[in-house]
Structure 1
Amino acid sequence: MKIKKKLLLGFGLLFVVVLVLGAISVYYIKVISETANVTLKNNYNTLTFTREMRSVLDENDLPLTSPASNTFNKALQKQENNITEPGEKTATDSLRKAFNLLINHAADLKQMQQAERNARLQLKNIEGLNMHAIELKNEYTHSTVAKATLYLGTTAFLTFFILFILIVNFPGFILNPLRELADGLDKVSKRNYGTRLKFDTSDEFAQLAEAFNSMAVHLEDQENTGLTKLIAAELRIKILIEEIQGAVLGLDEKQEILFINREARKILNLGEKPVTGQSVLVLSKDNPSLKALLEHNNPEHTLKIKHNSKASDFQQRSFEVVVPNLKTDLDSLQVAGYSVGTIRILQESKE
């Protein structure tokens, strides 16, 4: 799976979870709000109406006066338009009948008292129905809150879990391959061309590992080819200097011996001891012939060196080896030469 798809999948899943969390929150807030509004709108209003009607009965004697009857009738009409609970309509109808007897001037006092008792009983029934409804709705609200808490808590836990997985895995998912790539490049820079990268994925990092391994193989091939050419060139030079008539001595920029042929060993009295890599300045301290060679660079000056138990004259030729120094300076390529050593050739003078 590509890195882009993995990122889209991870953050897409997180987005969906957050969206579900928001939807659940909005839904249950709406449900709880509507439940509370209905409770206040219906049941609380009914309790207000019954309190007004009971106040009329408590504050007035029988028979009811016209203002008291009007107040009771207005509250009763409001209650008739606000019937919401089962059994409330029957109680309200009975209350209407009792009120009609209370305002019936043809009824005697005993009938009115009986109607008043019946009205108070129906008011009590209506209040009881609405109080019971308030309790049920309050329990329903608490149940809804508990359910919303459970769902929101579960969704929040899932959100945290997904975030935790992303936080733990995402840095390693990106940084570990980059760290391996940096280590591989460091090894290749030290000419360890056998370094290989392997990512057990099918994303862009696998393609990067394939390109890195291809580069390492190519560099290894180039290194082997260059080394082979270098060894071949060194062998050719050794054969060449051995075949040259005369003594040949090669020095690097540190005045250390790079190569020397057999003739030079004989003339300079160096014998068969290994001298390659040694400083001629150090060797010349105990070797007068080598010291004379280093002190005279004039090709017209003839060197007198004791050789084969006799002093012989030798003509010296010196060649400085200069190689180009290529370096990049800003946007321009500067070419300069510097010396990497000298080659000295001694040939015996012929009289």
Structure 2
Amino acid sequence: MTLGIGFLFLVIVVFGVFGIISIHRLKNDADKILKNNYETLVYNNNMLKALERLPADSLAFTLFENNLALQEKNVTEPGEKESTVAVRQYFERIRINRNDTVALAGIRQSIQLINDLNQEAILHKNQNAREGAESAATWMTIIFTVLALIAFTLVVNFPGVISNPIRQLSAGISAIANKNYSKRIHLSQQDEFGELANAFNSMAEKLDEYEHSNIARIRFEKRRIEAVINNMRDAIIGFDEKKLVLFMNSVAETLIGLREKDIVGKYAPDLALHNDLMRTLLQDEPRTELEIFADGKKSYFVNERIEVRNEEERIGEVIVLRNITPFHELDEAKTNFIATVSHELKTPISSIKMSARLLDDARIGMMNKEQQELLHSIQDDADRLLKITSELLNMSQVETGNIQLKIQAASPESIIRQAVQAVQFQAQQKQVSIKTDLVASLPEVMADTEKTSWVLINFLTNAIRYAPEASVIEVSVSRKKDKVSFVVRDHGIGIDEKYLPRIFDRYYKVPGNYEKSGTGLGLAISREFIEAQGGNVWVESAIGEGSKFGFDFPAIV
């Protein structure tokens, strides 16, 4: 770099100095021609013009006198002084005698001689200036050629001097970036590039040692685990056994509103004092679902706590917020679809029932036995479809949280009576009798009479469906301490004990003969209705012993 910049500086200095000298020489030659010779010609021409008017014009004497005085001061060429003196002598004679023709002729001859001398000088000096310019041009050409050859040599070789070491250094850096720590750079130059190559080799050697050490492997595995955790869609927070924060991924940062670097090593309960979500996550009681508004939208998460143990020793805990928003959105779309379809189906089904009822009226016309059987089948199917759509609508209310409850003090007797009346006709068709057992002086309960009767009707309908013909179904209400218990008991085939834990799940049907009819929603809706009113539902059953379905409400004291 110093060589290249120094050469450029030398070129500038040489051309500058030589150019300045040449320009000054040409300027001096031009000044000599202009000042020494050209001005003399001007003075002489002015004197000749004045000489033409000398006898008659007195102003011409003054003009001649002034130019002669200037000429006398500008005598530069050999022989010019004698002619100038002669002009002065002849001019003095004319002052005395203006008609002295000899003096006039002598003045013209002397002036002509002066002009000839200066013209010859101009030619001579012009020739000298031309020769000087040609000499300067020749020397500048020579110097330019020499410097151009040197510059060309530098242009060809100098980039290589710079680029080759840089290219090797670049290749070495790329190799290091690709974790090839065995790469070395070999430069024989004893300059800055050589020093840089030695420093690079020392760095690569240290990195190679570090890469193959155990701590490097541990840190690599740690970075890989951190990358996996950070790229998960679930929020993850890790604590040690003392509840100090160990790590938190980017999803958790967004939800909690804290940065990992700001809270690592801090006591989690202290953070929970000023952060609602952190406080919720640290609570011991389980939370089935969390609704969190973050990043401009509402999301749903399930809180899971994983205890980390090393053999038998507890060494920490991990809280995982699993993102269930997509499933929640699908479930909501399904609920809306079911609600819409069920609502739209109720009108045509009601129309079918009305039409079937009109057809069954003798005033419309008589039907034969086969037609009556078909009509009754249509009526049964329409009733079943209407029941299914009603259950689906009720379930959509349950899933969207839009259950409309009218809770007030209600008499258990009135709830039982309303439910039994609703299923009496169905029981008579199967020759099943319903027996009610009401304890005297029962307290009232806080309940929605319509929804509670619907649950009892559902229990009774199921009991009638699975009870043997000519059997008895028992409906009882009793008080158990501070609760009022409603029970429906049948003497049907019963339910295997292993199916009881899921009997109230949505769309669940007990395998076997129980799958003949129904949607699997009735019992699920019943549980939602009862629990929404503060009660609880239960079942007891065994194969061959029938089933007992019941629910309890707190008694009004």
Shift of 1:325: 4.5
Aligned partners of 1:324 and 1:335 also within 8 Å: no
- Aligned residue for 2:130, secondary structure, equals helix
Aligned to 1:147: 135
Shift of 1:118: 2.2
CA shift in 2, pair 1:78/1:225, >3 Å: closer
Whether 1:99 aligns to 2:91 is yes
Determine which of 146, 170, 188 is the counterpart of 1:200: 188
Give me the whole-angstrom Cα distance separating, in 1, the residues matched to 2:194 and 2:167: 14
Determine which of 5, 17, 20 is the counterpart of 1:11: 5
Shift of 1:18: 0.7
Give me the whole-angstrom Cα distance separating, in 2, the residues matched to 1:179 and 1:335: 43
Whether 1:326 aligns to 2:223 is yes
Aligned to 1:73: 65
- Aligned residue for 2:223, secondary structure, equals strand
CA shift in 2, pair 1:16/1:182, >3 Å: closer
Shift of 1:11: 0.9
- Aligned residue for 1:103, secondary structure, equals helix
Query: Within 5 A, what are the aligned runs for 1:217-296?
Result: none
Whether 1:39 aligns to 2:33 is yes
Shift of 1:54: 2.0
Aligned to 2:111: 123
Aligned to 2:169: 181
Determine which of 7, 10, 15 is the counterpart of 1:21: 15
Shift of 1:50: 1.1
Shift of 1:17: 2.1
Shift of 1:142: 1.7
- In the comparison of the two structures, how many residue pairs are matched? 226
Aligned to 2:377: none
Give 5+ residue unaligned stretches, structure 1: 1-6, 227-322, 337-351
- Aligned residue for 1:199, secondary structure, equals coil
Task: Read off the aligned partner of 2:42 and give its amino acid letter.
Answer: T
Q: What whole-Å deviation, never above 9, does each CA across 1:216-267 have from its counterpart, x for those lacking one?
A: 66677789999xxxxxxxxxxxxxxxxxxxxxxxxxxxxxxxxxxxxxxxxx
Aligned partners of 2:84 and 2:114 also within 8 Å: yes
- Aligned residue for 1:198, secondary structure, equals coil
CA shift in 2, pair 1:94/1:220, >3 Å: same
- Is the radius of gyration larger for structure 1 or structure 2? 2
Task: Read off the aligned partner of 2:90 and give its amino acid letter.
Answer: A
Shift of 1:78: 1.8
Aligned partners of 1:17 and 1:158 also within 8 Å: no
Aligned partners of 1:56 and 1:72 also within 8 Å: yes
Shift of 1:43: 1.6
Whether 1:132 aligns to 2:120 is yes
Task: Read off the aligned partner of 2:124 and give its amino acid letter.
Answer: L
CA shift in 2, pair 1:218/1:86, >3 Å: same
Aligned to 2:156: 168
Aligned partners of 1:32 and 1:141 also within 8 Å: yes
CA shift in 2, pair 1:326/1:137, >3 Å: same
Give me the whole-angstrom Cα distance separating, in 1, the residues matched to 2:108 and 2:5: 65
Shift of 1:53: 2.0
- Aligned residue for 2:190, secondary structure, equals coil
Task: Read off the aligned partner of 2:106 and give its amino acid letter.
Answer: N
Aligned partners of 1:326 and 1:334 also within 8 Å: no
Give 5+ residue unaligned stretches, structure 2: 215-219, 231-245, 250-557
Give me the whole-angstrom Cα distance separating, in 2, the residues matched to 1:224 and 1:39: 87
Give me the whole-angstrom Cα distance separating, in 2, the residues matched to 1:73 and 1:121: 17
CA shift in 2, pair 1:75/1:215, >3 Å: closer
Determine which of 69, 78, 81 is the counterpart of 1:89: 81
CA shift in 2, pair 1:334/1:129, >3 Å: farther
Task: Read off the aligned partner of 1:99 and give its amino acid letter.
Answer: F
TM-score for both structures, normalised by structure 2: 0.35
Q: What whole-Å deviation, never above 9, does each CA across 1:330-350 have from its counterpart, x for those lacking one?
A: xx99899xxxxxxxxxxxxxx
Give me the whole-angstrom Cα distance separating, in 1, the residues matched to 2:202 and 2:62: 101
Identity of aligned residues (%): 33
Task: Read off the aligned partner of 1:98 and give its amino acid letter.
Answer: Y
Q: What whole-Å deviation, never above 9, does each CA across 1:266-289 have from its counterpart, x for those lacking one?
A: xxxxxxxxxxxxxxxxxxxxxxxx
Q: What whole-Å deviation, never above 9, does each CA across 1:13-57 have from its counterpart, x for those lacking one?
A: 312321332233233323323332332233222111211222234
Task: Read off the aligned partner of 1:74 and give its amino acid letter.
Answer: N
Whether 1:54 aligns to 2:48 is yes
Give me the whole-angstrom Cα distance separating, in 2, the residues matched to 1:157 and 1:103: 66
Give me the whole-angstrom Cα distance separating, in 2, the residues matched to 1:207 and 1:40: 64
Aligned to 1:4: none
Shift of 1:128: 1.0
Give me the whole-angstrom Cα distance separating, in 2, the residues matched to 1:43 and 1:178: 65
Give me the whole-angstrom Cα distance separating, in 2, the residues matched to 1:13 and 1:60: 69
Aligned partners of 1:199 and 1:206 also within 8 Å: yes
